[in-house]
Amino acid sequence: MASWTTKDIPDQSGRLAIVTGATGGLGLETALALAGAGAEVIVAARNLDKGRAAETLIRSRHPGARVRFDLVDLASLGSVRDFAERQLTSGRPIDILVNNAGIMALPQREATIDGHEMQFATNYLSHFALTGRLLPILIAGRARVVEVASIAHRSGSIRLDDLEYVQGYKPWPVYAQSKLAMLMFALELDRRSKAKGWGLTSVAAHPGAAATDLIANGPGPGSRLMAWGGSIALKLIGHSAAEGALPQVMAATMPSISGGQYFGPQGLRELKGPPGPGKIEPQALDADVAAQLWSRSEAMTGVTFG
């Protein structure tokens, strides 16, 4: 396992994969890896031009790849609903869902069109809604569902009394909470799948410290110096987006994975290195908080899992 690479991905021919945020960074690298192994890949993201560019890049790397862009804006629950309805209308079972898209550390509190705090909504809440809406065709495909978390979950806590930081907004604690929520979602989805016989394999992964455009896209124009400094630091202590994507690609494709597993880099403090088992912090294992978060998420999105 220590030397696992994209060459170890089993043949994915005939399988359908959806990757959110797949127009750049970890998502694009994940889409490239899956398409290269023969999967049909839906690049799910919000920017049409970047989506077309991602399609072109994937086909240039893997001639004959089956890849298409489909619009979804995770800052809009309506967009999530529309995307899911298109997939349900097609009736095609989903084999792999990688909930990858995310934003990081917006300096000021922003709200989505639905009125939800932007980081919590984009990173976690819309992925919860998307998974719930796709559930019939995920079950039909006995899908592998991968939630992309972060080493930031180590410092995170679920603030049940104010999940959306209406009071005391701080960029990094909000980001950490959103990524802890993603990990807890993976574990709770596994529990519910087993209890209800859905047949899903729900797992999570994190990239360590990967040099992507996430920081540059997060802090915004008022914090360009911080973004630049963060990017330099990542290059010094971390690894590339392609290397950072390996844990989630492993989670999506490696045979004999069990639900509830977590994957990350194997180097010092899981910052970089080849993919393998990741460390789950105790707060992520709190099943009572996870159940409360699930109930709140259903109420906030209007999506139930049946």
How many Cβ atoms sit within 10 Å of the Cβ of residue 69? 21
CA distance 171 to 74: 19
User: Hey, what are 3's tokens?
Assistant: 């030397």
Find the catalytic residue in 124, 165, 169, 175: 175
Backbone angles phi, psi at 277, to 5 degrees: -65, 140
Per the DSSP assignment, residues forming a β-bridge with 162 are none
Q: Which residue has the tokens 């209800």?
A: 196
Cβ-proximal residues to 51 (8 Å cutoff; 6+ apart), any chain: 23, 43, 45, 69, 70, 71
Which stretches of the chain are DSSP H helices?
25-36, 48-61, 77-90, 118-120, 126-133, 135-140, 171-196, 214-217, 224-237, 241-244, 246-253, 287-301
Pairwise CA distance, residues 297 & 95, whole Å: 24
C-alpha to C-alpha distance for 126 and 141, rounded to whole angstroms: 21
Quick check: is 175 catalytic?
A: yes
CB atoms within 10 A of CB 76: 18
State the catalytic residues.
175
